[in-house]
Amino acid sequence: MDFRSTVSSLDFPSGDEYRSEPYMGDGDIYSVIDIILSVMRRGRFTLALGESSTGGMLSNFLVGGHGASAVFKGASVAYSFSAFEDIFCIPGAYMRNYGIESAEIATAAAKSVLDKFSATHAIALSGFASQWEDVHAADIGIIWMAFQTPKKTHVQRVDFSEFFGQKNLIREKACYAAVKIFLQLLFAEAGT
């Protein structure tokens, strides 16, 4: 994988970022997942996940959806610097340059699991849901999401810093945001 081309091909939103919305009470994550799985089954698409900040939670939600086995190829979960190197095959120098909590690393993780599982689509999440080693408090709750489709890579910065100190709520909200954004991307690409 050529990481320089990965960085140069990033599709950043036009200065916008996703702000958190009410979780679960205003929508059921499984309803969104069921729509994603239905659309992907019809398109004969497959999905792989690369998780860090969510620690496998998105995979857990995904396999709870109807017909997940026809779409979901697998997931890789890395929660430490060395695991990012071993599991996502991202060079240490690259991570030191950009930081694990970055668009570049989320994108590299998405491309890694896309290749590893031979999937057509991938989602990767990276960031910090709680205090961790040298993490600055201002970075807690900032999650980078990368969505790889056959047509492009889309990267989104999601801000859940208002939930500082509520690690599992940040993780849940990140999962919900990821499936909502991914569904929007699926529909947008189907319309092109």
Residue 50: strand, helix, or coil = strand
Q: How confident is the model at residue 128 (pLDDT cuts 50, 70, 90)?
A: confident
Structure tokens that stand for 162 in this block = 């208002």
- Would you list the domain boundaries of the chain? 3-190
Using one digit for the tens of pLDDT, what is the confidence trace for 11-36?
433 333 444 443 344 468 999 999 99
Query: Of the candidates 53, 80, 52, 51, which has an alpha carbon nearest to the alpha carbon of residue 63?
Result: 51
Mean pLDDT along residues 51-68 = 94
Given a contact cutoff of 8 angstroms between Cβ atoms, the answer to whether 59 and 75 are in contact is yes
- Per the model's pLDDT, the better-predicted residue between 184 and 192 turns out to be 184
Residue partners of 37: CB distance under 8 A and separation at least 6: 65, 66, 67, 68, 70, 71
The more confidently predicted of residues 110 and 135 is 110
pTM: 0.83
Q: What is the CATH number of domain 3-190?
A: 3.90.950.20
